[in-house]
Amino acid sequence: MVAMLLVSQQQGSTTSASALSGTWRSTPDETPLSSAFDESVWGKKAKAIRTVEMVVRAGGDARLTVTRKVVDARGRTVVGSSSIEEADLSLGAVQSTTGVRSELAVMVKKAERRYPDDPKGTFVLEGLRVTVTTFKDDPAMLEVRVDLPEGRGSFWEALRRGTGKPATTKPATTTP
């Protein structure tokens, strides 16, 4: 199971997995579940929430974690709705560069899906593919694409270094 990790290069320098060391997080992706069927299953004003986190270690090992759940109108997680997909990755050397993007070889060493509400609910994800893109003009952001082996539920998500918040910053305030 091999995936490609696209990593930007700074001009005149070589980007390596160690340059990506740290924790990268998405903002929660919230999707209202408002069809008649969804409301009959989850209740009115329920939302599906997905968060993505990737921890990269200096040696090139990384762990990608995708957490999914449904919350009710009060923000409580609905029992039986949570799943966690984890993939252990090994990041290699830069393979090629196109414009502001560089490709790094990545091997998916292990991938599984767990259902926390079911102690026996752990399944291997054979054929998981992951693509990660960084941007030369925004080194604090990664774009992760996750292609699940069953062909549905694939997505892409923007991650920020060490935060789950959007990249925008609030203006500084001062007190007189």
Concatenating the DSSP letter of every residue in 137-154 gives TEEEEEEEEEE-TTSSS-
Flag whether 170 is in a domain.
Answer: no
Flag whether 168 is in a domain.
Answer: no
Highest mean pLDDT among 8-12, 91-95, 116-120: 116-120
Q: What's the pLDDT at 7?
A: 36
Highest mean pLDDT among 10-19, 55-64, 74-83: 74-83
Instruction: Give residue 138's pLDDT band: very low, low, confident or very high (50, 70, 90).
Output: confident
Flag whether 113 is in a domain.
Answer: yes
- The token duo for 68 is 């999914």
State how far the alpha carbon of 16 is from the alpha carbons of 8, 19, 56, 79, in Å. Answer: 9, 5, 11, 41
Flag whether 166 is in a domain.
Answer: no
The CB density around residue 52, as the number of other CB atoms within 10 Å, is 25
- The domain tally of the chain equals 1
Q: What's the pLDDT at 43?
A: 94
Q: How many angstroms separate the most distant Cα atoms in the chain? A: 60
CA separation for the pair 108, 91 (Å, rounded): 9
Strands (E), the chain: 2-6, 22-25, 29-33, 46-56, 61-71, 83-98, 101-114, 122-124, 129-135, 138-147, 155-161
What is the mean predicted confidence (pLDDT) over 39-56? 95
Flag whether 116 is in a domain.
Answer: yes
- The token duo for 102 is 């560089």
Flag whether 123 is in a domain.
Answer: yes
Q: Which domain holds residue 100?
A: 2-161
Residue 165 is given by DSSP the state S
Flag whether 83 is in a domain.
Answer: yes
Q: Sign of the C-alpha dihedral, residues 2, 102, 13, 56?
A: negative
The CB density around residue 10, as the number of other CB atoms within 10 Å, is 10
Flag whether 35 is in a domain.
Answer: yes
Please indicate, yes or no, whether the overall pTM of this predicted structure exceeds 0.85. no
